[in-house]
């Protein structure tokens, strides 16, 4: 990414600004907001300017733009009038039906019916929950914050979850939430979405309390390597301690390692060979071995 484009938000057209921001700040989870109007009529609409901002207490925030003509969307009017919303999360099996509920139906039209969803009663607030949704938050509206008075302006709806419902099917045998079972949908730019399937989900085990050594403790020859990218260097920088002398000794007794070091000695520039070996080990998730071979090469004064 050598060449960067640079914009001042005010120099873009509203359409460009909207597209550039939505096309880049993603994937965004989808808040499927269920509200009631003052006459008790149900309303259901998706909002992807959405996230959770606290777990204690559980605070979920989503943002409702005013319509192009400056009028309020139904969700905003209802949340302001009743102080209640049920935030349903959207998974892959629901996605197509959810998109129908994003159509700008007239006030009073019941999007549960338009999208083919099943309304079920909530326990501590009046709006319905969406039965098909894997997670439903019954919320009270804490605050609504308007960010501007121009048409299209965003209004943050700050909601606190009072009661949470989670479908039994999304839990792993260890009682954690299984990302593949919940299969959440994310909103990308334009009409694009993604979801959490076996090809897209990956784990990075880097617990915040385990103090990693960091890039600043990597040898210089690694930082300037054209073979090891940031992704692989992060595997080396993410450890809390280097292998012990006895772990290095153990590896040095391996015949193949001895042969490898011998070949390194014969190279005019042994670094690419070492970096390729480290890359191979890291690709196979052998981080301790990768560090050991690096330290062994250093000990043998090969680098
Ligand atoms: C996936 C998805 C995400 C959306 N996110 C937003 C959003 O964050 N803010 C917004 O104002 N409109 C958003 N919309 C559009 C609203 O859902 C749409 O204007 C809807 O008609 C509003 O319904 P309501 O008037 O019943 O609240 C989104 C639509 C879809 C399909």
Query: What does the pLDDT look like over 264-277, one tens digit per residue?
Result: 999 999 999 999 99
Q: Does 46 sit in the ligand 1 pocket, CB within 6 Å?
A: yes
- Report the phi/psi class of residue 70: left, alpha or beta, with left for phi > 0 and alpha for psi in -120 to 50: left
**2 has a pLDDT exceeding 80:** no
135 near 184, Cβ under 8 Å?
Answer: no
Cα 12 from Cα 67, distance rounded (Å): 19
pLDDT per residue as tens digits for the range 21-53: 999 999 999 999 999 999 999 999 999 999 999
Q: Does 291 sit in the ligand 1 pocket, CB within 6 Å?
A: no
Write down the pLDDT at residue 150: 83
Among the listed residues 94, 118, 107, the one whose alpha carbon sits nearest the alpha carbon of residue 46: 94
Q: Does 34 sit in the ligand 1 pocket, CB within 6 Å?
A: no
Q: Is 10 helix (H, G, I), strand (E, B) or coil?
A: helix
As a whole number, mean pLDDT of residues 157-169 equals: 98
- The predicted model scores a pTM of 0.92
Q: Is 5 helix (H, G, I), strand (E, B) or coil?
A: coil
Write down the pLDDT at residue 4: 96
As a whole number, mean pLDDT of residues 225-239 equals: 98
Q: Report the sign of the C-alpha dihedral through residues 36, 42, 47, 53, in that order.
A: positive
Indicate the pLDDT class of residue 117, thresholds 50, 70 and 90: very high
Dist. CA 45 → ligand 1 center (Å) = 6
Write down the pLDDT at residue 152: 83
Average pLDDT value for the chain: 96
Nearest-atom number in ligand 1 for the CA of 102 is 17
Query: What angle (nearest 5°) sits at the alpha carbon of residue 126, between those of residues 56 and 186?
Result: 55
Domains and CATH numbers, the chain: 9-195 (2.30.110.10), 215-299 (no CATH)
**1 has a pLDDT exceeding 70:** no
């Amino acid at each position: 990414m050598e060449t960067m484009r640079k914009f001042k938000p005010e120099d873009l057209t509203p359409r460009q600004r909207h597209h550039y921001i939505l096309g880049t700040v993603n994937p965004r989870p989808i808040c499927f907001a269920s509200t009631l109007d003052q006459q008790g009529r149900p309303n259901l609409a998706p909002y992807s300017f959405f996230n959770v901002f606290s777990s204690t207490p559980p605070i979920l925030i989503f943002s409702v733009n005013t319509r192009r003509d400056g009028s309020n969307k139904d969700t905003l009017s209802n949340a302001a009038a009743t102080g209640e919303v049920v935030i349903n999360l959207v998974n892959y099996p629901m996605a197509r039906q959810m998109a129908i509920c994003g159509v700008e139906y007239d006030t009073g039209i019941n999007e549960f019916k338009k999208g083919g969803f099943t309304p079920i009663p909530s326990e501590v607030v009046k709006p319905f929950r969406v039965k098909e949704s894997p997670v439903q938050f019954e919320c009270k509206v804490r605050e609504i914050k308007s960010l501007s008075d121009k048409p299209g302006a965003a209004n943050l709806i700050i909601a606190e979850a009072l009661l949470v419902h989670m479908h039994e099917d999304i839990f792993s045998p260890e009682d954690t939430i299984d990302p593949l079972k919940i299969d959440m949908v994310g909103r990308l730019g334009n009409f694009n979405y993604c979801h959490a399937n076996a090809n897209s989900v990956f784990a990075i085990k880097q617990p915040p309390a385990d103090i990693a050594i960091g890039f600043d403790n990597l040898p210089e020859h690694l930082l300037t390597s054209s073979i090891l990218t940031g992704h692989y260097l992060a595997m080396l920088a993410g450890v809390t301690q280097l292998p012990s002398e006895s772990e290095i000794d153990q590896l040095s007794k391996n015949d193949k390692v001895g042969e490898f070091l011998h070949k390194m000695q014969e190279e005019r520039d042994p670094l690419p060979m070492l970096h390729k070996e480290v890359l191979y080990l890291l690709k196979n998730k052998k981080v301790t071995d990768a560090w050991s071979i690096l330290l062994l090469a250093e000990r043998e004064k090969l680098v």
